[in-house]
Amino acid sequence: MTVIAVTGATGTIGSAVCQRLAARGDQVVALSRDAERAQAVLGSEVTTFGWHDPTSSPPPAQALAGADAVIHLLGEPIAQRWNERAKQRIRDSRVLSTRMLVAALRALPQDERPAVLVSQSATGYYGPSDGRALDEAAPAGTDFLARVVVDWENEALAAADMTRVAVARTGVVLSPSGGALAKMLPPFKLGVGGPVAGGHQYVSWIHLDDEAAALIFCVDHAQARGPVNLTAPNPVDNGELSRGLGRALHRPAMLPVPGFALGLLYGEMGTIVTTGQRVLPQRLLEWGFEFSQPEIEPALHAVLS
């Protein structure tokens, strides 16, 4: 039986990953700040351990020793109003928790270390871009989020001398229970949704099912190392996303949202929505990964059903 440890296991992505792993017969070990809550959320099939302060202490060794793989998904939500304290939390929750995890792996006896670490990352690595297609070889951006992602990935890649490491640059995950789509739904349900800041900026999205499947694919396939873009093969612009969401909800989606309104609501974080990136999953496609939801409208209908 394959043993896979998952951090951030009770989040939107983590829960989906744990469910999929358990369904295929893997032994899942979940690390969470609150082990009892995690047990209640994930069910008795999953073994839970408490990792109470991921930014300043390593996870318990017994949760990692003998595991075949680790999927690291911890991170403070990006979709919040940014101030200096929030930005520090966003950075520390990713960079420092990954540093603590790698230190814990290094402290294990060599024969007890997992053979692979799949560490969550983000398409924010590339920074705001125009309509150029960006594969894994594209350079890093220079804005706040890009700098965070670069440091985050570097902490994970520091483990590459002792285990295979893949960093999963994830786009906008389509799920009604969390993330960007959950925040978009209320105005669209009221019939007052529409394109943001002109709607021409690209949105590199992925359905939650494909996100979970791709993370596990990176565990299973030995060629998956270094950066891997986890986005659907057909990114769309914000206008097309808005129209698709309106059709899925049977609501109009014509009311434009000016960019300054996002700035008033979210401050600096609003630039994530008013700018975009056209990120392509080049490596996943080369390796033969099959997306269950490659097109935006069927993906939205699947999520909202």
CATH code given to domain 3-172+206-232: 3.40.50.720
Q: Read off the pLDDT of each residue in 214-234 and give the average, rounded to a whole number.
A: 98
DSSP string, the chain: --EEEEESTTSHHHHHHHHHHHHTTPEEEEEES-HHHHHHHH-TTSEEEE---TTTSPPPHHHHTT-SEEEE-----SSS---HHHHHHHHHHHHHHHHHHHHHHHHS-GGGS-SEEEEEEEGGGG-SB-S-EE-TTSPP--SHHHHHHHHHHHHHHGGGGTSEEEEEEE-EEE-TTSHHHHHHHHHHHTT----BTTS-SEE-EEEHHHHHHHHHHHHH-TT--EEEEES-SS-EEHHHHHHHHHHHHTS-----B-HHHHHHHHGGGGHHHHSB-EE--HHHHHTT---S--SHHHHHHHHH-
Higher pLDDT, 81 or 100: 100
Which of the four pLDDT bands, split at 50, 70 and 90, describes residue 255? low
So what's the pLDDT on residue 260? 59
Mean pLDDT computed over every residue of the chain: 91
Q: Read off the pLDDT of each residue in 158-163 and give the average, rounded to a whole number.
A: 98
So what's the pLDDT on residue 145? 96
So what's the pLDDT on residue 242? 87
Higher pLDDT, 7 or 255: 7
The model scores a pTM over 0.85: yes
Which of the four pLDDT bands, split at 50, 70 and 90, describes residue 234? very high
Give the range with max mean pLDDT: 72-86, 237-251, 256-270, 279-293.
279-293
Q: Read off the pLDDT of each residue in 166-187 and give the average, rounded to a whole number.
A: 84
Query: Residue 184 pLDDT more than 90?
Result: no
So what's the pLDDT on residue 190? 66
So what's the pLDDT on residue 275? 81
So what's the pLDDT on residue 181? 73
So what's the pLDDT on residue 252? 75
